[in-house]
Amino acid sequence: MTPSMVRGMWLMALAIFVLSSMDVLAKILIENQVHTVTILAIRSVIITAVLLGTLGFQKKLSKLRTKRLGAHILRGMVGLTAVGGFFSSLKYLPLADATVVFFTGTLFIAVASVLVLKERFGMHRWLAIVAGYVGVAIAINPSFEEFSIGYLLALVGSLSYAVLFISGKIMAKTESTTSLVFYFNAGLGIVALCALPFVWQPLEFTLWVLIFGVAMLALVGHLAITQAFSSREASVLAPIEYTSLLWAIVFDYMLWSHSPNSHILWGGAVVVVSGLYFLHREQQNSVATAIQATK
């Protein structure tokens, strides 16, 4: 495994922790009756302004040049359903439950990596990802005894995020990490700002601070995750997303005193073990390849 590959995996792990922390702030905002569109609109404006200011100061605005503006705009529109769907689900579900539903897009990412990205896909990758999906099914099973619209919102967010995942991997071949993050947030911001007048309500100072925190965490997370995509195969990075379930369980317990039921714990354990097995096999394969290369 090359240093670049290892770096990609660590960047993905960091991104998941940062974005999980962002979800906490988003849930607090939504519980304080702040509309999802309001969060996304202000968040996108802040991120776009920070990126423009930083690049302008560094005299690197040329990084934003692109020949794929239409594709960037489409990603921004998809982002509204991806991020908006998940944030909206937090009004009805604990973090852990919403996160588990969100994992339903992981199998789609794996399949799309083969069909769209033409990535090589061996048996061990399939076994690890399918096992992770089984873990998700175990974790979510009791939650569907009483249907909540939160599950549907999280599912919509999950499938939309899978589209973002694959499109980001494709566009990373010709677009810089900075341009991907900038145009995604700019496109998302334009769509959200158009809808903002219909949901706007005055915000207290504390809520503004929380939204600023959401924006900063989103910026760091997106930069890390986009950079990770450009240095490692999407199907390899996908299992690392499972660690967000662990963070969700921890945050649920620490902040909302919500203890996960046995199904969440058992399902989460299967998810984590499958991810670790996946990474272990990847490392073994890389070592074997390196040895063969020296012969």
Q: Where are the domains of the chain?
A: 3-120+148-234
List of residues 6+ apart from 63 with CB closer than 8 A: 55, 176, 178, 179
> Left, alpha or beta for 33 (phi > 0: left; psi -120 to 50: alpha)?
left
| Rg value, the chain, Cα | 19
Indicate whether this model's pTM tops 0.85: no
Task: Check residue 293 and give its pLDDT.
Answer: 32
Please report which helix (H) or strand (E) contains residue 76, including its range.
helix 69-89
Distance CA 162, CA 235 (A): 11
Task: Check residue 99 and give its pLDDT.
Answer: 85
- On the question of pLDDT at 249 being above 80, the answer is yes
Contact 132, 106 (CB under 8 A): yes
Contact 28, 34 (CB under 8 A): no
- Residues 144-168: pLDDT tens digits? 555 568 888 988 888 888 888 888 8
Span 67-88, mean pLDDT? 87
- Residues 229-247: pLDDT tens digits? 666 665 667 667 778 888 9
